Structure 1
């Protein structure tokens, strides 16, 4: 991975505006006053990068992202000591939403204000508006540079509004910076209808796109800044969200009105919204292709002892995430992923000496069962896969030898699964390529029953017996009392996500077609799977499922959840599809990881970690009650 030397560091050295930390990672510790921030080019650019971009980079933290913490893909133990929350720093607020702890008095993941792991996105929007109001002041900014900066600020302003819309639905629109002497009526703005909000975001993106560079030419100096390719992809996602059932004619919100009596949600389904989204997806894909976007392919590096094609495929699938700035990543944020030690099992004996090796990120059984069989169809639809006996204890065999240790006792559900399962999930009996051992003929093995991966103390354990392996690159190692991470920056959007979004939109517009299948099959082919029609025709109990709009919709939704697992996307998708409630209706299950006898027989007993709590009201977040008192023109989120 190349070393990132960002231009913000130059501002640190020259102007001492902020402490010298990674480019765009954090809000500066000492923000210059507005009057002094636009005296010259360097001060103005520092304001853009240090203030306008700052909360965007914080969104790289998965614990701040409801798309990750509330998706049901990953949970954390609920019985951690009160003084020892996740990661030891209180970053469990988002996960606690699944336990029914949300409230309107002091909301968790509060992005309206800045409490409980939230961010004040209104402050970020105010920074953008201040910048737009003052960017013409510095006399030494070139015309081209000024246009680009304005476009960046408009994109950021649009994206912060979009994030708030996904969380709260109808919101006020902060299109201009309010003057210091603004009246109470000017400050106390009303929420706008949700379609007005979406259209506002799209308008800002359309204004920004022409003046943004299509790609970053100086990676060392400017990686992390916005391009027109990123903006086009975001526009596609915004329009697809607007077209989705949560916001497009949702009967649950039909009676919701603002303080002026106007309806805040569209009363009926508008299919034309899907066509707008499809057109935007195609434009985004075309732009990405023109700027060199392509699927990541693993290239063998020095230090690898032995690697088969099976292992190479797993590293290709994982590297799409963990090899930063590769051509598949349309949008990557600068901050490094900071939770590898929480996502990793104790791989070998030496890892038992590592202090604070929490391993708390736990994958529930339902998420593991989302992945396909090796035939590329769901495990409950594959006529050749023994679904009813999937919890039976069996021994790893030669056919699965590069994924599960041959002769090791594991559950049958871990055998004969698709490559993405083995690239994304670690479990008892799974092989682990990496952590200092790069010989896949003699790999380390996860022994969750009584080996290094077994629970060592009440806080350093995994609640289900499954780990999100996808998030831990093979180069990361456990050494003598230390965990040496191979750092990677967090990818916000990948090319396969756009392909699957385009397929979804096309299917919603006109149902199954050769073009829809093509975009799905491009994703499946990289994972070593047959195309949708071929796989269902040969292996599925219902071979005609891909031939109907409803059937193909289910396939596309599951394909997105598999391909984008653990990437902070599923929680948003499940919300916009209005499917999150059905996903969270069942308890989170896992193996008996705290078994006292340390035997395989006792370990392989399903137990309930906890029963998630998710009601209709939880699709959107509550506005803090105090804000409703401060601004009587606001109405509370539906059902709160």
Structure 2
């Protein structure tokens, strides 16, 4: 039995309860006139049904909490994680079994249905006589943002999109009239940004009461605008000559061949606009003596609903997070395994990389004493790491976060080796890497029996904005003091030394290239397992080196801690240039003669 504890009412409760299926029947997404037109003629005559229709537009915002099934592939296809089970699509896709006719995780049509639904709402909400002009303007703005958001979600997966006309296409239009080509990526960005800007005028800065927490507000809009512009400024789309032949049938270039530094400035300015709102701050918790508790801060930023760092969140079923992220001995599946490269990315407690000779990192020997995070005898690889590591990674010898499963009230010590309490056995619920993702798992959840602590799915938080601002600023104005300032704010909250001069600091990176690498490393650690790494390695055009080749973990076949503590290859992954953009399935190409496939497919 699952239980949910929501401390604040989410506005979806207000709208989604009735659940009218007004947008459930769709034909071709280019046909913007609903198939059930006659049945919804009265929808916009009443306030209740109009708001229910808008709720259905919101419902196209996808939850991305389950990396196993068809719900969300981003972590399982990134260099951060292995999804243990070989019957789920990411397993075979990582091995190169990924062709242009594969339909797994194709969200092209899903988001176009959302776009169509939003457009229909925008064009008909004025018919409602029960809504004030102010509310109509606000609801239109929400739908306008959602439409732009849906476009941006297609763009992050597929690149250039088809920008549909605002006016509905006539139901008797010919196939030729309904065939619309993809727009150049920069034109898509400009359209999405312009639509988001247009929505701002009629949106509140912040919710007026706790029942409105999930409604679109200005901060949400500005945050997604900043992300859209950051992606557009990145190497995949900014002067990428690998896409010189990526054109429409009429010869229109779909990816700009000229590098434009000003794109980075637009991204930096957009991120700074969110910061300057003064509405958000990094979430912090403190010890009894008033000192910062970085571990609690980093763990609970995902568990404290609508804390001041959260920009956008939604009600979701967090069962997959807790079940897959809990060790087998605690009733979980131990099935989302961080890769060794993800483990290695975390800093030491002194703020240095593990390959820094001054870091104190050891890859031999075992801990002589226990701590709050691990037991005596734990492999030294996991000793003396930063708080974010202990928040995110379950490793052999680590202490579980829910004491209910320990003996005599003592914490449960997780054993990941063959025959250990959460290691390889004759069943299938064990990690092939020897690690499990514990980030976002709720310590109050128990999965034996299943009782899942309710909380929001965090989809955007301020830490991402800080890192995006630093990244964009470094590309067009290297040396700007804001770069290290915002990078250091992230490190300070993480409980590790900041960059700078002095005994309590880590030497700052010198030059644009070194600073870029430092920002990329910080982003990987801070935003790990938040469905961002997949897109980061692609937009940076580094996925050929990060996402292909041998992938390492610990020796899960070993039957004791000493044998387990050896790096071994668990998988040889295949990454090809065509994987930078997702394939468009043949059925979509068949229905639109002007729709070109992505390069390489």
Q: Is the structural similarity TM-score above 0.5?
A: yes
Q: How many residues align?
A: 579
Q: Does structure 1 residue 17 correspond to structure 2 residue 13? A: no
SS in 2 for 1:136: helix
Corresponding residue to 2:324 among 317, 342, 353: 342
Instruction: Please name the residue that 2:456 is paired with.
Output: 489
Instruction: Please name the residue that 1:430 is paired with.
Output: 398
In 1, Cα distance between equivalents of 2:150 and 2:45: 27
Confirm or deny: 8 A CA contact 1:57 1:335 kept in the other structure. no
Instruction: Please name the residue that 2:33 is paired with.
Output: none
Instruction: Please name the residue that 2:83 is paired with.
Output: 76
Superposed counterparts of 1:43-442, under 5 Å: 43-50=49-56, 52-59=57-64, 61-62=66-67, 64-78=71-85, 80=86, 85=87, 92-94=88-90, 96-113=92-109, 120-176=110-166, 177-219=168-210, 221-287=211-277, 289=278, 291=279, 293-298=280-285, 312-339=293-320, 340-346=322-328, 351=330, 354=331, 357-386=332-361, 390=363, 392=364, 394-398=365-369, 401-406=371-376, 408=377, 410-436=378-404, 442=410
Superposed counterparts of 1:557-576, under 5 Å: 557-576=520-539
Instruction: Please name the residue that 1:88 is paired with.
Output: none
In 2, Cα distance between equivalents of 1:59 and 1:332: 11
Structure 1 residues 411 and 224: alpha-carbon distance in aligned structure 2, compared to 1, 3 A threshold:
same
Q: Does structure 1 residue 554 correspond to structure 2 residue 513? A: no
Superposed counterparts of 1:491-570, under 5 Å: 491-534=458-501, 543=507, 546-570=509-533
Q: Does structure 1 residue 468 correspond to structure 2 residue 402? A: no
SS in 1 for 2:208: coil
Structure 1 residues 77 and 9: alpha-carbon distance in aligned structure 2, compared to 1, 3 A threshold:
closer
Instruction: Please name the residue that 2:25 is paired with.
Output: none
Residue 627 (structure 1) shift: 2.0
In 2, Cα distance between equivalents of 1:209 and 1:65: 30
Unmatched runs of 5 consecutive residues or more in structure 1:
20-29, 86-91, 114-119, 301-306
Confirm or deny: 8 A CA contact 1:308 1:440 kept in the other structure. no
Confirm or deny: 8 A CA contact 2:416 2:435 kept in the other structure. no
In 2, Cα distance between equivalents of 1:283 and 1:9: 31
Confirm or deny: 8 A CA contact 2:406 2:412 kept in the other structure. no
Q: Does structure 1 residue 615 correspond to structure 2 residue 584? A: no
Instruction: Please name the residue that 1:632 is paired with.
Output: 593
Unmatched runs of 5 consecutive residues or more in structure 2:
23-35
Residue 125 (structure 1) shift: 0.6
SS in 1 for 2:55: helix
Structure 1 residues 142 and 535: alpha-carbon distance in aligned structure 2, compared to 1, 3 A threshold:
farther
Residue 484 (structure 1) shift: 2.5
Instruction: Please name the residue that 1:117 is paired with.
Output: none
SS in 1 for 2:584: coil
SS in 2 for 1:475: coil
Confirm or deny: 8 A CA contact 2:403 2:409 kept in the other structure. no
Confirm or deny: 8 A CA contact 1:12 1:18 kept in the other structure. no
In 2, Cα distance between equivalents of 1:604 and 1:530: 29
Confirm or deny: 8 A CA contact 1:11 1:17 kept in the other structure. no
Confirm or deny: 8 A CA contact 2:284 2:293 kept in the other structure. no
Residue 279 (structure 1) shift: 0.8
Structure 1 residues 258 and 445: alpha-carbon distance in aligned structure 2, compared to 1, 3 A threshold:
same
Residue 144 (structure 1) shift: 1.1
In 2, Cα distance between equivalents of 1:472 and 1:324: 14
Corresponding residue to 1:458 among 421, 424, 427: 427
Structure 1 residues 10 and 553: alpha-carbon distance in aligned structure 2, compared to 1, 3 A threshold:
closer
